Structure 1
Amino acid sequence: MEHVDGKNLLPGTLNVKQMYSLGQMTGHMHNVANDGTNKNDRNPKFIPPSVEQRLDYWKSFYKTIDENDMFVELLEIQIKATKHFSLELISSCETGWAHRDLWVDNILFTGDQLSSILDFDRFAFDYPELDIARAIMSGAFNGSTFNSNSAKAFLDGYRTIRKLEKGVFARSLYALWYLESTWWINPNLSLDRYQVVQFQNEMTWLGKNLSELRAMYGSW
């Protein structure tokens, strides 16, 4: 493997300048990936299940957990959010080639500047805005706190390179939640790794705030 300068940062710790730089490079990556060199697939990688299927999935856990289990609270957050979800939010997303794993473990910084994006193993034809949501949640969300200034800096940087309409960020969060929530809200996951805790906290926060995301970030 070729040596690349730079270092990883912890989730939720990226400053405004770092997020701006990450936004610019993400926009550049999307421009290059979608310049016509890569032929578009017929369908995006993420084919979302119906809301009914997703509700059945969540409710199936009630058969395997105790009513006093701490997981019940996380589960009920996801069920409530799913009941109010519309798949039209995903079908309205623009398709294109995307990294699909753009979080802090796969990006390197030298000071305030992004030096490299790593690990394109999951690169596929999907929804590029998933990269936007994944990068922002990874860089700007810490514990239970969302750093709006860092998130806005990413979007500002992205828009210097690639067009991004207002409202897309909010929509990207809905799509990210529907894609990833089943990966990280699971009673069988070990919470010994900080990465798992981070992802689970992100999905819990998104689930709690899902009905308000458009009001909170729709003008961004």
Structure 2
Amino acid sequence: MDIAYQEDMILNDIIDACVQRMGWQIQSITPIRRGWLNLKWKIHTDSGIYLIKQYNRERFQAYDPAVLEQAFAQQIRLRASGIPAPQLITDGHTVWHTSALGERFLVMDYCEGEIIMPGMVNEAQLYDLGRITGQMHRLLNDNSLPVQAPPLFQPPTRDQRLQYWEQLYIQFQEEGHQIYLPIVEQQRQTTITMNMDILQTLRPGWAHRDLWTDNLLFYPDKVTAVLDYDRLNYDYPQLDIARAILSCVWDGEFDLTRAAAFMQGYREVHPHYNERLSVSLQALWYMESVWWIRTGMDKDSGPPVRFVREMSWLAEHYGVLDEIIDFL
């Protein structure tokens, strides 16, 4: 079936459900081409402007519905506590909506603001993002949620990770993807020299776990919305910090001034936070590198290509991150 035709069928099914249940009069519909597989639309109605997010049926199989329900409940709580999160619209008893043909979707208020290109977030925006991230972490870890053991990220041993890189190197050789061999070799060499002890210093807690530029909206001097809480779970909050800063300030070079602005805002909420940013970035690399440097990456475009560049830079500069970011 033609993809555009299939998307139109899904949209019409969802709109029928919204009109029936909410009494909307639809004025205009604009597709939002962001995100992976899940479909999104901006909907102008007689009662306001909303965003609809449809959950791709195939991708939904990877989710635990109970975990998603918990994440949405936290999104509602965070918004009620002042975090700029989209307001979820319920059908009276649940945030989940289901269409006549079985499409699962969310309805939320449409948030104003702009998505900033990776690496281009300014100093004032980063200060505000740091402050909001600090508030979010404080609220998520105020004992309202139970401590869960273990955290989601369970670091593999050095030998396990080396085996991954060695097998990937061989596979790329066999497939004729010579262009990726230096990238994989850099990852392997960095894994050999990595100080594995840093992974024992990570402090577990509840975190957003997807805090990067595509999930942030800004005005010129502040954050207007933190989006997409699907991945919220018990993990390592300092990896939120590393992911946000790397996404917002790195564009081939690491901008210390803007990174410091984020940390200033964060430490205004957590004045005793003393984890080193260099360690957080090193741990982020160890977690994420295998997500993006993998078989099939030759078919990637958009954000995954950016993530590969980030992981390559972190691996190349792993041994000198302490010197580059010595005061953060």
Aligned to 1:124: 233
Cα distance between partner residues in 1 of 2:161 and 2:296: 18
Cα distance between partner residues in 1 of 2:293 and 2:256: 24
Instruction: Go from structure 1 to structure 2 and tell me whether the alpha carbon gap of 1:193 and 1:68 turns closer, same or farther (over 3 Å shift).
Output: closer
Cα distance between partner residues in 2 of 1:155 and 1:94: 17
More divergent stretch after superposition (90-99 vs 52-61): 90-99
- Note the residue ranges of structure 2 that are not aligned, 5 or more in a row: 1-107
Aligned to 1:216: 324
**Pairing 1:23–2:130 present:** yes
- Which has a greater percent of strand? 2
Cα distance between partner residues in 1 of 2:304 and 2:124: 26
**Pairing 1:53–2:160 present:** yes
Instruction: Encode CA deviations 1:170-199: one digit per residue, 9 max, x unaligned.
Output: 110011000000011125214653311211
Q: Which has the higher contact order (CA 8 A, sep 6+)?
A: 1
**Pairing 1:65–2:172 present:** yes
Aligned residue among 239, 243, 246 for 1:134: 243
Cα distance between partner residues in 1 of 2:156 and 2:231: 20
- Note the residue ranges of structure 1 that are not aligned, 5 or more in a row: none
Q: Secondary structure at the match of 1:88?
A: helix
Aligned to 1:185: 293
Aligned to 1:170: 278
How far residue 43 of structure 1 moved from its aligned partner, in angstroms, is 1.1
Runs of 4+ in 1 over 4 A off after TM superposition: none
How far residue 154 of structure 1 moved from its aligned partner, in angstroms, is 0.6
**Pairing 1:11–2:118 present:** yes
What pairs with 1:68-107 in structure 2 (closer than 5 Å)? 69-107=178-216
Of structures 1 and 2, the larger Rg is shown by 2
How far residue 54 of structure 1 moved from its aligned partner, in angstroms, is 0.1
Cα distance between partner residues in 2 of 1:218 and 1:163: 18
Which residue identity is paired with 1:201? R
Q: Secondary structure at the match of 1:160?
A: helix
Equivalent pairs, count: 219
TM-score by length of 2: 0.64
TM-score by length of 1: 0.94
Cα distance between partner residues in 1 of 2:263 and 2:214: 20
Q: Cα RMSD between the aligned structures? A: 1.6
